[in-house]
Amino acid sequence: MSRAAVPGLPSRHPIGEQLPALYADDDFAQRFTAGLDTVLAPVFTTLDNLPSYFDPRLAPADFLSWLASWVGGIDDPRWPTGLRREAVARAVELHRWRGTRRGLTEALRLVLGVSAEVRGDGGATWSRTAGGELPAAPAGEVLVRVWPQHGAAVDADRVRALVRTLCPVHTVCRVEVLSGPPADEGK
């Protein structure tokens, strides 16, 4: 990220105009302060637009990685800028759902543009009766089925990598890539 001199960017607050009358006609003083104006103009422009830097939908593209680090968002400079902005904007919401079916399906939809279905609970179990017998241990495997949206191809390696980072560490996640929505969808 670099905020450097922008050729031709005028200063909103030229220093030469603010000098005492004694220096108003001094060529050296005016040239010297004009050089400072060139350096300070991007600073003033940045400060004037500071709220925009904290909105991922408006921030400069080179600022997105830093903004993503503030909210623990996923950012990949190889992604299209629109996707990067959306990933940063939704990072806090996705953290709230991390480790859940909804969180995994939303992340897959956002980052890879695929639809997903998650089956299994990863081995979670509980009892409704305090001090009672625990139910039988469920299968510890989670099945993540993905299929393309709008006929796009699915990159199975990227799906597996993302699922590996988002599934809770105590679970075994298996990924199936389907050519379309499962026949039993919605049951």
Assign 3-class secondary structure to 103-163: HHHHHHHHHHCEEEEEECCCCCCCCCCCCCCCCCCCCCEEEEEEEECCCCCCCHHHHHHHH
Q: Name the burial class of residue 121, with classes exposed (0-12), middle (13-18) and buried (19+) by CB atoms within 10 angstroms of its CB.
A: middle
Section 6-31 average pLDDT: 89
Residue 30: pLDDT band (50, 70, 90) is: very high
- Angle, CA of 53, 54 and 56, to the nearest 5°: 90
Residue 165: pLDDT band (50, 70, 90) is: confident
- The mean pLDDT of the chain is 85
Residue entry with tokens 């990685």 = 65
Section 33-58 average pLDDT: 90
Residue 98: pLDDT band (50, 70, 90) is: confident
Task: Indicate the pTM of the whole model.
Answer: 0.65
pLDDT at residue 105 tops 90: yes
Between CA 52 and CA 79 the distance in angstroms is 21
CA distances from 57 to 20, 30, 71, 135 (A): 43, 39, 14, 48
**pLDDT value, residue 123:** 65
Section 143-172 average pLDDT: 87
Q: Which tokens is 185 given? A: 């969808």
**pLDDT value, residue 111:** 86
Between CA 55 and CA 104 the distance in angstroms is 24
Section 38-42 average pLDDT: 88
Percent pLDDT > 90 in the chain is 39
- Displacement of CA 49 from its chain's centroid (Å): 21
**pLDDT value, residue 173:** 87
Residue entry with tokens 């593209």 = 61
**pLDDT value, residue 185:** 53
**pLDDT value, residue 46:** 85
Between CA 68 and CA 13 the distance in angstroms is 33
